Structure 1
Amino acid sequence: MKNLPDFAPRLRAAASALRLDIDVNQQNCLLAYLDQLQRWNRTYNLTAIRDPEGMLIQHLFDSLAVVQPIKKELYKHTVHPTVVDVGSGAGLPGVVLAIMCSGATVHCVDAVEKKATFIRHISGALKLPDLQAHHARIETLPPLQADVVISRAFASLADFARLSGRHVRPGGRLVAMKGKEPLEEIEALQTETAWRVERIEPLQVPELEAQRCLVWLIEQGSA
């Protein structure tokens, strides 16, 4: 990976801080993904963050911070769960989840064609056959029966629930990656939709001095 500094030690340190077990293959895949993102970003402008340092912290570490909480939910009922990443962009956090969650099928959905094309490239280049890319708006796809539907800076909670809720299997969860607790969004969600906040889980992203949390949503009447 000639275009990147040696980020391996910092990646291992971040994984340790997050209590994540990362094997050599996963480490190499994560760093190869970062390398490809930097290469493609020069031409296709996949993300506003352009320097490798920023990508490492604000994209890779930010996505790794959700892995443990998501894994706890995913494998409750099956060893082959399904994840949908809505408004995935360049595959965040979907590609990271595909690398870190063994046996999971991950659908990355984005309305921008070049971003879906990049994720398809990553699926082949990193040999991730269970990583699938969809160039589509989430509301146009048939129900994907996901255990977890996740979004990162996609929409308000109410819009996320309205557009994506039908892709959650019975008993599954919507999960929104947010900065500060979105109090106004929570109020609108509960007023305008059949979804409610199950819990808000604080996250600590290594090397990032900013608030992060996961907002877990459950449909009323769902187990």
Structure 2
Amino acid sequence: MHPFFPELKQGSQQLGLELSEEALNLLLKYQDALALWNKAYNLTAIRDPKEMLVKHLLDSLSILNDLPAGRLLDIGTGGGMPGMIIALCQPDRQCVLLDSNGKKIRFLKQFIADLKLKNVIAVQTRVENEDMIQELGQFDVITSRAFASLTDFITASTPYMNASSVIASMKGLVPTDEIELHKNQFSCKIIELKVPRLDEQRHLLLLKQI
């Protein structure tokens, strides 16, 4: 058994998730691969695996119960948060992980190949690349943990949206002013998240076009 298995299982249960043993083991394989690659390629500022468990795995898992169904795009996925974590827990959901950073996408492609994952692809591109927008098409759910500005995230997401798409933005504090700025275009549902062993505010914003 992986040394972090009990901790991850307990943390996921505290989030109201009933993940299979297989899903929990896949998540820990992902974290081990991320920690290994991180030594050479600097994929994430967090180096301590125990901290990764909380700030990457549990933090990303905290949105799982509130995500709408459907094909998912993770913009600015970095090392794969939250997109890879969603893909590992929901094998029936098609996920596309998008980032302009070559090292990070190489890591994700290698991990996808090693585990022969069928429901997720990693794409190196700039989000505004017209050809890629055409090629990838539209998504039901668009996530990101990377954007400081909600406005920037909305701008990046819009070309990939259909009429019923949901933007799922992971935030620390609620960006009240930005939500107000877009209230004529988007309705916004704010969900407060409680991440086990993380003493920081976390929120999920679900935005739908009006």
Which range, TM-score by smaller chain? Answer: over 0.9
- Aligned mates of 1:38, 1:176 — CA distance in 2: 25
Counterpart residue number, 1:54: 51
1:126 and 2:119 correspond? no
Query: What's the counterpart of residue 150 of structure 2?
Result: 157
SS in structure 2 of the partner of residue 28 of structure 1 = helix
Equivalent residues in 2 for 1:1-223, closer than 5 Å: 6-70=3-67, 73-74=68-69, 81-140=70-129, 141-143=132-134, 144-190=137-183, 195-220=185-210
The 2-side partners of 1:133 and 1:114 are apart by 12
Distance in 1 (alpha carbons) for counterparts of 2:42 and 2:110? 16
CA distance in 1, matches of 2:138, 2:177: 29
What percent identity do the matched residue pairs reach?
37
Residue 150 of structure 1: how far off its partner (Å): 0.5
User: Partners of 1:115 and 1:189 in 2: how far apart?
Assistant: 32
For residues 41 and 187 of structure 2, the distance between their equivalents in structure 1, rounded to whole angstroms, comes to 36
SS at match of 2:59: helix
- Secondary structure of the residue aligned to 1:138 is coil
SS at match of 1:91: coil
Q: Is residue 46–residue 90 contact of structure 1 (8 Å, CA) maintained in 2?
A: yes
RMSD across aligned C-alpha pairs, in angstroms? 1.5
SS state at 1:6 partner: coil
| Counterpart residue number, 1:78 | none
Contact persistence 1:90–1:116 (CA under 8 A): yes
The one-letter code of the counterpart of 2:149 is: S
Does the CA contact (< 8 Å) of 2:73 and 2:141 recur in 1?
yes
8 Å Cα contact 1:195-1:217 kept in structure 2: no
- Structure 2 runs not aligned, ≥5 long: none
